[in-house]
């Protein structure tokens, strides 16, 4: 094992180093658009955008929110903001107006980049609804009553929209910034500055802005790639979203550290992914379990050549052993790895290695990453427990976030006085350091890799006419690991049907937060002190949602 040492590099410096080492190698390939850039071309493009943003007045420390799928120039923006000391704030593309407004307000973002939209969701229309001032105010003079920090809105493309700057306009202004001013700005950026904010439900409450530094994600990305044996010869297919740490850290930062080519897809499509692997001769593939399942079960699977694949990552939710074995055998990914962590940990704290036994790779989430301590602690006493004893999984090291943006109390709940980041997950560790995850202390639901915090859905549903009270819990799912289940108490005289609840949610909250299972009950199970017993509600799911329980039974056969 290579000796650990923290790389004190900014994202900009890391990219410059990689471009100097492999200038003519493929760096960014948009397989669904046949667009590609070498490392030198990508680095030059980043410089042009960075200078254009400076020319428009983007200052060091400003937040730049991006609401977009994996389109061309998403990565350019990620590194351009990093080079000038701005903070990229990633926005989940499933968000709707209420969630977008919350994120922009809580993050105090000064800038917003958007695309046209996703499927039936028009981002441009949503943006004008959330920011009506855009239609009537001059660019550069934006004053928004509900978003007092917001200064600029950009369209991440060439089209022009009222009140927004287009990408060609940003690029065209690069010449207005002198070489000296640009170099001064780059030199002012510290590796320990915050570079990225990703919103997560964390362990409690509404989504929080996780502040990650250059050091956090540069180093985590390095070791993630190292454990897959990445080099400049690798070509990594990334159909996972860049707004999530799976895409921008496990994917992008692992590749940039080792000079591996990034083969991007705007969104997941089984056929497009298989075609990209085949045509681009990919050596690695990333995905959540449902993505791999969709490819393996597809009727045209046999038409594609997967012989170049050797490694990759399956993460985001529980990885079933039968599926892992099929991925190794039928996709040829015999060196596939499993990663475990949380956004607050940059995100990976443990990873299996390519030379671990198959059993280790299908039954554990691996060992601690270099430079990161991982321990299992008693949730009540916070003391370390013996091997094979279930407790809370905690970590400490260079990877721990700087904190939640403007939420010091929530930060103190997540990171204790000794610097341990508490995951909220239950697990155990064997004598050799391999960690197995067994459940969660916190109530957060993980549906196919997307985090859903029950309180957020509960407070939304409480606004629905006829709802007296509501509790949201995880319901086991064979396909997604967990689904969202809602138990409601109706107001007197109200007639609530499950489909009414789902109809109320559609178009107002992200689709993956909409309860698949809904039951109307007379009361919730309570403790003697009157506290709702959520674990009993999860047990009640067997009676109220038998179809979900059948899925769970089939999964264990």
In tens, the pLDDT along 464-505 reads 999 988 999 999 887 888 899 999 999 889 999 999 999 999
Rg (CA), the chain: 23
* 393, part of any domain: no
Q: Is the pLDDT of residue 556 over 70?
A: no
Q: Which whole number is the average pLDDT over 404-408? A: 97
User: What does pTM read for this prediction?
Assistant: 0.85
Q: Is the pLDDT of residue 145 over 70?
A: yes
Q: Which whole number is the average pLDDT over 242-259? A: 97
Write down the pLDDT at residue 550: 58
Q: Give the residue from 330, 364, 386 where a domain finishes.
A: 330
Question: Using CA atoms, how far apart are residues 97 and 82, in angstroms rounded to an integer?
Answer: 27
Largest CA distance in the chain: 71
Question: Strand runs (DSSP E) across 77-176, as ranges?
Answer: 87-90, 111-114, 117-118, 121-122, 152-155, 165-166
Number of domains in the chain: 2
* 113, part of any domain: yes
Total length of the chain: 557
Q: Is the pLDDT of residue 433 over 90?
A: yes
Write down the pLDDT at residue 529: 41
Q: Which whole number is the average pLDDT over 374-395? A: 94
Which contacts (CB < 8 Å, 24+ apart) does range 382-385 have? 382/416, 382/420
| Residues ≥6 apart with Cβ < 8 Å to 58 | 64, 81, 84, 86, 110, 111, 152
Write out the two tokens for 179: 């070489």
- Is the CB of residue 94 less than 8 Å from the CB of residue 450? yes
Write down the pLDDT at residue 455: 78
* 360, part of any domain: no
* 463, part of any domain: yes
Looking at residue 238, which CATH number applies to its domain?
3.40.50.12780
More confident residue, 350 or 538: 350
Write down the pLDDT at residue 548: 73
Render pLDDT for 30-74 as a digit per residue (tens, 0 to 9): 999 989 999 999 999 999 999 999 999 999 999 999 999 999 999
Q: What is the mean pLDDT of the chain?
A: 92
Q: Give the residue from 272, 301, 330 where a domain finishes.
A: 330
* 349, part of any domain: no
- Is the CB of residue 396 less than 8 Å from the CB of residue 369? no
**Claim to verify: residue 147 and residue 20 sit in the same structural domain:** yes
Question: Using CA atoms, how far apart are residues 345 and 349, in angstroms rounded to an integer?
Answer: 7
Q: Give the residue from 305, 330, 355 where a domain finishes.
A: 330
Q: Is the pLDDT of residue 557 over 60?
A: no
* 60, part of any domain: yes
Write down the pLDDT at residue 289: 85
Q: Which whole number is the average pLDDT over 81-99? A: 96
Render pLDDT for 184-204 as a digit per residue (tens, 0 to 9): 999 999 999 999 999 986 444
Q: What is the DSSP code (8-state) at residue 187?
A: H
Write down the pLDDT at residue 27: 98
* 114, part of any domain: yes
Write out the two tokens for 180: 């000296």
Render pLDDT for 150-177 as a digit per residue (tens, 0 to 9): 999 999 999 999 999 999 999 999 999 9
More confident residue, 401 or 291: 401
Identify the domain containing residue 136 by its residue range.
11-330
Strand partners for 485: 473, 517
3-state SS assignment for residue 468:
strand
């Amino acid at each position: 094992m290579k000796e650990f040492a923290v790389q004190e590099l900014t994202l900009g410096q890391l990219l410059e180093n990689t471009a100097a080492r492999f200038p003519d190698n493929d760096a960014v390939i948009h397989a669904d658009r046949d667009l590609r850039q070498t490392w030198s071309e990508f680095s030059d493009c980043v410089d042009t955008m960075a200078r254009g943003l400076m020319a428009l007045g983007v200052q060091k420390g400003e937040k730049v929110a991006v609401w977009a799928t994996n389109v061309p120039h998403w990565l350019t923006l990620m590194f351009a903001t990093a080079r000038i000391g701005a903070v990229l704030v990633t926005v989940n593309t499933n968000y709707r107006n209420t969630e977008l407004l919350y994120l922009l307000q809580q993050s105090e973002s000064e800038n917003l980049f958007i695309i046209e939209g996703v499927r039936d969701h028009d981002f441009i229309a949503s943006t004008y609804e959330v920011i009506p001032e855009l239609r009537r105010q001059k660019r550069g003079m934006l004053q928004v009553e509900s978003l007092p920090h917001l200064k600029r809105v950009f369209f991440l493309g060439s089209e022009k929209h009222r009140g927004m700057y287009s990408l060609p306009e940003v690029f065209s202004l690069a010449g207005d910034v002198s070489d000296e001013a640009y170099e001064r700005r780059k030199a002012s950026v510290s590796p320990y500055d915050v570079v990225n904010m990703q919103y997560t439900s964390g362990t409690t409450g509404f989504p929080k802005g996780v502040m990650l530094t250059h050091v956090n994600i540069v180093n985590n990305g390095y070791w993630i790639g190292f454990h897959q044996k990445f080099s400049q010869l690798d070509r990594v297919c990334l159909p996972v979203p860049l707004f999530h740490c799976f895409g921008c850290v496990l994917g992008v930062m692992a590749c940039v550290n080792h000079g591996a080519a990034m083969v991007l897809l705007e969104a997941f499509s089984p056929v497009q992914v298989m075609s990209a692997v085949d045509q681009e001769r990919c050596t690695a593939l990333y995905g959540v379990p449902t993505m791999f399942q969709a490819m393996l079960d597809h009727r045209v699977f046999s038409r594609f050549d997967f012989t170049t694949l050797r490694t990759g990552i399956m993460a985001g939710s529980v990885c079933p052993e039968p599926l892992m074995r099929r991925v190794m055998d039928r996709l040829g990914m015999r060196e596939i790895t499993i990663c475990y962590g949380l956004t607050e940990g940059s995100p990976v704290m443990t990873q299996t290695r390519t030379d671990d036994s198959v059993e280790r790779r299908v039954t554990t989430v691996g060992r601690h990453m270099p430079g990161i301590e991982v321990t299992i602690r008693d949730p009540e006493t916070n003391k370390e427990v013996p091997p094979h004893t279930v407790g809370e999984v905690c970590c400490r090291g260079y990877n721990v976030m700087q904190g939640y943006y403007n939420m010091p109390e929530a930060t103190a709940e997540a990171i204790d006085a000794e610097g341990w980041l508490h995951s909220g997950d239950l697990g155990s560790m064997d004598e050799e350091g391999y960690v197995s995850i067994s459940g969660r202390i916190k109530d957060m639901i993980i549906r196919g890799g997307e985090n859903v915090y029950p309180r957020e859905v509960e407070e939304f549903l409480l606004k629905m006419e006829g709802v007296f009270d509501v509790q949201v819990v995880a319901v086991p799912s064979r396909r997604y690991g967990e689904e969202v289940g809602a138990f409601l108490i109706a107001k007197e005289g109200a007639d609530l049907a499950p489909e009414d609840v789902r109809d109320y949610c559609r178009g107002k909250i992200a689709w993956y937060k909409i309860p698949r299972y809904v039951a109307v009950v007379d009361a919730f199970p309570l403790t003697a002190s009157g506290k709702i017993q959520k674990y009993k509600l999860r047990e009640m799911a067997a009676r109220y949602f038998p179809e979900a329980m059948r899925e769970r039974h089939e999964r264990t056969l």
